[in-house]
């Protein structure tokens, strides 16, 4: 019984500690910084690294790769791409929509909406909107919104693995009101029907600070639907966020 009481107190204090000012600390930290030179250098170094890696795979023949209607379509045991061009199971472009509910504790939670268009030639466009809410004890709740747009190139397009790199822009709304450049990379491994493992990394260099994001998801595919659960880590204005996520997505 004492163990349960101690655990409850720890969780309760954790909710209060982070719930009383985590988003507010983000705003204060990012508004207090105004030097982006180091951030820009890190951004350029990472971009050059990803570009060189993509160049090593640019000579591979992906001419026969087609986009599947959705992963594991009709038990083909393939992911996002397939070797042969069969119009009955492939298409020239695909719309992908997902919505994730994320939470760190009872005080801090959010919603993550993602819309992407995958096209031929390994290109895709992705728009992402993250909204965070933070309930504060004896005070109004705080909010933080981040919108991101990415152009992505899928430089590895195998039937069971999909690796990509992307560039884009993001905007942090509210009192921060700051634009930044985004570089990102990620991949998805279709290791066993109907499951896949997805990992995404993102760095945004704004005028005031860096924003890091690491996402790991276990996806379960059912026809043109995908159910996901995983972890999302954010570092915004030197403040860490460690959240759990559950989501539902579809392929059109």
The per-residue DSSP string of 104-161 comes to SSSSEEEEEEEEEEEEGGGEEEEEEEEEEEEEETTEEEEEEEEEEEEEEEEEEE-SSE
Interatomic CA distance for residues 227 and 236, integer angstroms:
27
pLDDT of 8 reads 45
Q: Which helix (H) or strand (E) holds 162?
A: strand 161-172
pLDDT of 45 reads 59
What fold characterizes domain 2-251?
A: Porin (2.40.160)
pTM above 0.75, yes or no: yes
Sign of the Cα torsion 11, 12, 15, 17 reads negative
Interatomic CA distance for residues 184 and 169, integer angstroms:
11
Mean pLDDT, all residues of the chain: 81
Sign of the Cα torsion 195, 147, 137, 28 reads positive
pLDDT of 100 reads 96
pLDDT of 10 reads 44
Domain boundaries, the chain: 2-251
pLDDT single digits (tens) 102-156: 999 988 999 999 999 999 888 999 999 999 999 877 667 788 999 999 999 999 9
pLDDT single digits (tens) 193-231: 999 999 999 999 877 678 899 999 999 999 999 999 999
Any residues with CB less than 8 A from the CB of 189 and at least 6 apart, and which?
160, 161, 196, 197, 198
């Amino acid at each position: 019984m004492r163990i349960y009481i101690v655990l409850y107190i720890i969780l309760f204090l954790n909710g209060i500690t982070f719930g009383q000012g985590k988003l507010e600390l983000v705003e204060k930290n990012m508004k207090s910084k105004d030097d982006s030179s180091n951030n820009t250098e890190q951004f350029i170094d990472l971009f050059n690294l990803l570009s060189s890696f993509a160049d090593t795979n640019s000579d591979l023949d992906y001419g026969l790769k087609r986009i599947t209607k959705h992963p594991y379509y009709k038990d083909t045991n393939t992911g996002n791409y397939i070797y042969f061009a069969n119009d009955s199971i492939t298409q020239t472009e695909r719309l992908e929509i997902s919505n994730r509910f994320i939470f760190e504790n009872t005080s801090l939670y959010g919603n993550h909406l993602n819309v992407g268009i995958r096209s031929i030639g390994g290109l895709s466009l992705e728009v992402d909107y993250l909204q965070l809410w933070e309930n504060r004890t004896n005070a109004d709740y705080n909010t933080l919104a981040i919108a991101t747009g990415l152009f992505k190139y899928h430089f590895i397009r195998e039937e069971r693995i999909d690796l990509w790199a992307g560039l884009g822009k993001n905007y942090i709304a509210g009192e921060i009101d700051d634009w930044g450049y985004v570089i990102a990379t990620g991949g998805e491994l279709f290791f066993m029907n109907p499951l896949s493992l997805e990992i995404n990394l993102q760095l945004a260099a704004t005028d005031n600070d860096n924003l890091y994001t690491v996402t790991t998801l276990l996806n379960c595919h059912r026809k043109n639907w995908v159910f996901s659960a995983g972890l999302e880590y954010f570092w915004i204005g030197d403040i860490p966020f460690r959240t759990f996520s559950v989501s539902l997505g579809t392929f059109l």
